[in-house]
Chain A
Amino acid sequence: MSAIEAHNLGKCYRKAGVGAPTLRDALKRAFLRRPMEDFWAVRGLNFVIEPGRTIGVIGPNGSGKSSLLGLVAGTITPTEGTVRANGRISSLLELGAGFHPNLSGRENVFLNAAILGIAREDVRKRFDAIVEFAGMRDFIDMPVKHYSSGMYVRLAFAVAVEMNPDVLLVDEVLSVGDAVFQTKCLNRIMDFKRRGKTILLVSHALETVEQFCDEVMLINQGQLVQRGPPGEVIFSYLRTYLARVGQLTVEEYGTREVEIRQVRLLDGAGQEAAKFTTGEPLHVEVTYHAHRRIENPVFGFGLKTGNGTYLFGSNTQILNYRIAAIEGTGVMRLTINPLTLMAGRFLLSLSIHSWDHSVQYHRQEDLYPFLVKDDPAHHGVVQLATQWELKPGP
């Protein structure tokens, strides 16, 4: 039996009906017979998820990911089609949704647990563990209105993971709390996975999705665009959407006397990829076309982290790689070996400009995103070649 099944699932919102509704609006609509604008948050979704699978849901903002989770959770009623989940569903959609600001953390733990369907007896038994997990021992009898937002969410998460669901829905909750708490959260979700629960995970943290999920669904404009192995789907997401939708500060300019026609990112085996491994080579194959003969062109590249920190830039001029002239179509190959970047999302910029930097023929800023996976023993942004040497005293 499948864990989650959706048939032709659709959810339509009326644009006019969104927001605080009033009788006046309704009357106006009834009398004026003004057609209401429909907005389909999700439409025509068909999928079956087998039990025990961890499925990532990715897509640009407003693509319908959260609506999909709401539909599966049952908090949103479908406009058309059906969605069915077998077994107990629990959602980590909004942490602390049922908290009452005036009640103490202790009272809220029990209240929240009841809302989530956890038996009071179980909570009583696990109470200390919950408080310990949240790291809230000193504050548990304080009204939650005095909590910091981090404390609030930590306590809520600690309660929520006490559930023993068959299907777990996670919506971007992993982005809360500090690094230590995030690791704790991920471990808990890993635990669910090991116990064979079905997990539906919505996240913008693509590395997390890649790391956790057996499969990834790519959603855009309410439609299921692609479903498959994480690496593949994330790759096409990065290539197709991130650049197009303008989530990145994508820029492209230049005189186009030389044009960058095609760019392929290849791994050590020469395969096109979106995910690379620390310590292994990364090749960038730039297919260019020069409309006229260009003397002394310079090819350059730059790398930024996913959040825009400039990491490294270089060009053929700096490396003393003289190109006398180019004309017509050709391929320029850049090899970065070994790739010393650590895990994360990176953006590649490319440019072709004149020897004296006065003419920018074609520059593509942040147009090529890619992921790097590393060995988890190290931390940081870049990998440095290091060695230790011990000189014991006499």
Chain B
Amino acid sequence: MQSLVIAWRHRELLWNLASRDLKGRYKDSVLGLLWTVLAPLFMAAIYIFFLRLLGGRGLQISLADIVIGVFAWQFTVQCVTSGLTAFTGNANLVKKVFFPRLLLPTSVVISALVNFLLMLVVQLPIVALLLWHSGGAMSIWTLALPVVILYHTIFNLLLALLVSAANVYFRDTQHLVGLGLSAWFFLSPVMYPLSFVHDLAQRWPWVEQVYQLNPLTVIITAYRALQTGVPLVLTPAALVGWLWPLAVAALVLWAFDRAQRNFSDYL
């Protein structure tokens, strides 16, 4: 709660830091902000191509699902990767000027959020087109996306807080996180629908339960459900998947506050 007050009081600085991040990222590149959308689009295209190539024609995957999954995944990846260097990349600033340290990872997430919203401007028409092509239509529930985006942002912020602080203490974090992200990518339904794990779940029912504890699973599933109109099934496991990040939020903030006190010693 106190963190929210701090963030609000420094909203001007937050916005400045976020826009520094955004402007800095695409300065001097020809395509500039276009890369924001081009990167996930290319990724989606590559996944679709190889899934088709390897899985054959019989594979039942919806193109819209992959596009939605990749764009949402991209949001989290951006928060985590730029969260890693939120402090280590701004050592001078952290050591020399006092301001609530919380603001740096938060600004990183805000800039990623702005990026994501821009990505959505492109993603939504593409998904609409793909759905129309396969005889469907965008669901009216698409209007409820902001709720999922808000939750997704909070989740990303918690991740950014954790990795940013951990990386100050152990520079190994950036390597571990790189590995973790690759594993997480396959453990989350980014380039395949949730139904893919059903086969596994028939042999080991607990697999699906555990699978649903992954917040990114429920987030991506929700993005898909809201846009394509597939009903969202809220199993008990999925409910836990939704709730546990919020439950540990206070703990993360507390740990972050403890950790940030010695930042200037380690930077």
Contact = CB atoms under 8 A, between A and B. Distances in A.
Interface of A: 13, 17-18, 20-24, 26, 70, 73-77, 89, 91, 93-94, 97-98, 100, 102-103, 107, 110-111, 114-117, 119-120, 143
B206 interface: no
Contacts of A93: 96-97
Contacts of A91: 96-98
Nearest to B99: A115
B97 A97 contact: yes
A255 to B, nearest CB: 51
Chain A to chain B: the 7 pairs with minimum beta-carbon distance, closest first: A94-B96, A114-B16, A74-B98, A77-B261, A23-B172, A102-B27, A114-B13
A107 B23 contact: yes
Contacts of B99: 115, 117
B24 A75 contact: no
B199 interface: no
A111 B20 contact: yes
A94 B172 CA distance: 28
A94 B16 CA distance: 19
Interface in B1-58: 12-13, 15-17, 20, 23-24, 27-28
B264 interface: yes
Contacts of B15: 114
B92 interface: yes
A90 to B, nearest CB: 9
B262 interface: yes
Given A102-B28, A120-B12, 6 more contacts: A20-B171, A21-B171, A75-B98, A107-B23, A111-B17, A117-B99
Contacts, number: 86
25 contacts: A18-B265, A20-B171, A21-B169, A21-B170, A26-B170, A70-B96, A70-B264, A75-B95, A75-B98, A75-B264, A91-B96, A93-B97, A94-B92, A94-B95, A97-B92, A98-B93, A100-B20, A102-B23, A107-B20, A114-B13, A115-B16, A116-B97, A117-B13, A117-B99, A143-B27
B87 to A, nearest CB: 12
A115 B96 contact: no
A22 B93 contact: no
B185 interface: no
Interface of B: 12-13, 15-17, 20, 23-24, 27-28, 90, 92-99, 169-172, 261-262, 264-266
Nearest to A114: B16
Given A75-B95, A76-B264, A94-B92, A102 B13 contact: no
A381 to B, nearest CB: 35
Nearest to A160: B97
A17 B170 contact: no
A113 to B, nearest CB: 8
Contacts of A100: 20, 23-24
B16 A110 contact: yes
A143 B90 CA distance: 18
B93 A103 contact: no
Contact of A103 (B13, B24, B94, B98): B24
A23 B265 CA distance: 16
A110 B27 CA distance: 17
Contacts of B170: 21-23, 26
Name the residue among B20, B93, B261 with the largest chain A CB count within 10 angstroms.
B20
B13 A75 contact: no
A17 B169 CA distance: 9
B12 A22 contact: no
Nearest to A24: B172
Contacts of B90: 98
A168 to B, nearest CB: 13
Contacts of B266: 17, 21
Contacts of A97: 92-93, 95-97
A209 B102 CA distance: 36
A103 B169 contact: no
A97 B93 CA distance: 5
A333 to B, nearest CB: 50
A153 to B, nearest CB: 13
Nearest to B16: A114
A114 B15 CA distance: 9
A246 to B, nearest CB: 28
A74 B97 CA distance: 8
Contacts of A143: 27
A74 B24 CA distance: 28
Contacts of B96: 70, 75, 91, 93-94, 97
